[in-house]
A and B are shown apart, each in its own frame.
Chain A
Amino acid sequence: MAITSIKNLKEFSTNNDRFEGAHTLCPGCAHSMIVRELMNCTDDNLVIAANTGCLEVSTAVYPFTSWDTSWIHIGFENAATAVTGSEAMYRARKKKGTLKDPNAPVKFVAFGGDGSTYDIGFQWLSGAMERGHDFTYICLDNENYANTGGQRSSSTPIGATTSTAQAGSASYGKKEKKKDIVAIMAAHGAPYVAQLAPNKWKSMAKGFQTALETEGPCFINTVSACCTEWRFDPKDTIHITDLATDTLMFPIYEIINGHELNILYRPKNVVPVEEYLNAQGRYKHLFKPENKHVIEKIQSDINEYWDKLQRREEARI
């Protein structure tokens, strides 16, 4: 029995957690907020694979598992491959009639961090999307390789300092722009692609449910604020995510069938990006006078991208 709609938080809270505590993610990590929400928004059986990353190593510390569903610990790149393989086997066994309970609803989900989604597992993910399996891929985007000490990934935004793109007298941190993974996945012609954030729990739960219900490959990029590598106090995870969505650093939107773009959240007051940058230690150096142009560049990129999204929403292309 699938939960079809969640009216309010009180109703949502009656669902039983299937992601257990005592995992070893950092206090205040947004990863577990996102994973909990996915597993709470459905009653269906879940088959989950996770790429190597914070989530994988922290939820399966031998001899413990934090998962109350089928879950596989797999390599850095191939959660998409593992879960689509399971899905293919499920379909084959259903056809042959060898399943114990063929009517039980099963959903296939892969989790990956941004390192394994934007970089290392990109080829595997692209292949799985192209093959058209019925699965949902969720990227927990914390903009760096947090598990191994905060190296830059192709998701790291311009201007952020990381352990391999450090800010100093000669550099202002990472110089390249963030890869637009949502547009790339939409270009695969996927039936449902979205970018969501845990502070907007309702649109997130709705997005997850849509992705699970949609037949075919779905991709969701979620903003996962990382208190360790973004350098803010763990208690501010939701506040930072609020700033990320209100400054439009992370616009929340969905793309259906590769062309129907819907913006899911329009901030009443768009906050200047300085506030978001100022709240995090990784952007501290941008407030030196010589780096002022980087902040201006970030703001103009955001404006340009927001404009593009709105035009795409209107034109349906």
Chain B
Amino acid sequence: MSKGILAVDNRGKRELGADKLVGWDEVTQGIVLTSFEGDAANIASLKAEERTYSDFNSYTATVASWRVIKPIYNRDICIDCQNCWVWCPDSSIISRDKQMLGIDYDHCKGCQVCVEVCPTNPKSLLMFVEAEEIETALAQWPEKKKN
């Protein structure tokens, strides 16, 4: 956990991030969690890789264990329409400079919405079992369907 006094209770000061975490039932005045280390004034202008996320930000956590199937992305077919980006519920489609770069497997829950909204033929995103290697998945990509 990160440094800084973030929770104070009536029985004396206790630091969140000290040896012992403050339990949710021990807090009487509420907790302030900071999303970033240091100044967060221009966060909207920074890309994820330029930000200094604090340990409290869920960006540093993962929900990869929720998945049993995962989407795999085929760059060769993608037309960068960004449908998957706008409808991904887990902010897991990585798009930079109008280009789709790939999938953030730390935060993807495998809901398959991106595959459903993909307009290309064949789809540029397909679901595979979690253990599938990306190379073998790309090798068995389906051919273009003729109506």
Contact B46 A16 (CB under 8 A): yes
For A45, the chain B residues whose CB sits under 8 A away are: 41, 44
With known contacts A20-B59, A22-B59, A9–B81 Cβ distance under 8 A: yes
**Which residue of the partner chain, among B31, B59, B98, B109, contacts A14 with CB atoms under 8 Å?**
B98
Q: In this assembly, does A203 line the interface, its C-beta being within 8 Å of a C-beta of chain B?
A: no
Contact A65 B57 (CB under 8 A): yes
Contact B57 A68 (CB under 8 A): yes
> What distance in Å separates the Cβ of B72 from its nearest Cβ neighbour in chain A?
15
Q: In this assembly, does A234 line the interface, its C-beta being within 8 Å of a C-beta of chain B?
A: yes
**Which residue of the partner chain, among B62, B87, B97, B98, contacts A33 with CB atoms under 8 Å?**
B87
With known contacts A13-B95, A20-B59, A235-B113, A65–B35 Cβ distance under 8 A: yes
For B111, the chain A residues whose CB sits under 8 A away are: 27-28, 234-235, 237
Given A32-B89, A62-B31: 14 more A-B contacts, CB < 8 Å: A9-B85, A12-B82, A16-B48, A17-B48, A20-B58, A21-B58, A21-B90, A21-B106, A27-B110, A27-B111, A33-B89, A62-B33, A235-B115, A237-B89
- Within residues 27 to 65 of chain B, which ones have a CB less than 8 A from any CB in chain A? 31, 33, 35-36, 40-41, 43-48, 51, 55-63
Contact A23 B116 (CB under 8 A): no
Q: In this assembly, does B74 line the interface, its C-beta being within 8 Å of a C-beta of chain A?
A: no
Q: In this assembly, does A18 line the interface, its C-beta being within 8 Å of a C-beta of chain B?
A: yes
Contact A10 B80 (CB under 8 A): yes
Q: In this assembly, does B1 line the interface, its C-beta being within 8 Å of a C-beta of chain A?
A: yes
Measured in the bound complex, the distance between the Cα atoms of B107 and A28 in whole Å is: 13
Measured in the bound complex, the distance between the Cα atoms of B58 and A60 in whole Å is: 9
Contact A25 B89 (CB under 8 A): yes
- Within residues 66 to 98 of chain A, which ones have a CB less than 8 A from any CB in chain B? 66-69
- Within residues 1 to 55 of chain A, which ones have a CB less than 8 A from any CB in chain B? 9-25, 27-33, 36-37, 42-45
**Which residue of the partner chain, among A13, A29, A61, A63, contacts B85 with CB atoms under 8 Å?**
A13
**Which residue of the partner chain, among B47, B56, B82, contacts A9 with CB atoms under 8 Å?**
B82
Measured in the bound complex, the distance between the Cα atoms of B48 and A14 in whole Å is: 12
Contact B115 A20 (CB under 8 A): no
> What distance in Å separates the Cβ of B126 from its nearest Cβ neighbour in chain A?
12
Q: In this assembly, does B132 line the interface, its C-beta being within 8 Å of a C-beta of chain A?
A: no
> What distance in Å separates the Cβ of A6 from its nearest Cβ neighbour in chain B?
10
Q: In this assembly, does B130 line the interface, its C-beta being within 8 Å of a C-beta of chain A?
A: no
Contact A18 B44 (CB under 8 A): yes
Q: In this assembly, does A271 line the interface, its C-beta being within 8 Å of a C-beta of chain B?
A: no
Q: In this assembly, does B141 line the interface, its C-beta being within 8 Å of a C-beta of chain A?
A: no
Contact B63 A21 (CB under 8 A): yes
With known contacts A21-B92, A37-B86, A238–B113 Cβ distance under 8 A: yes
With known contacts A22-B62, A237-B113, A13–B89 Cβ distance under 8 A: no
Measured in the bound complex, the distance between the Cα atoms of B21 and A45 in whole Å is: 31
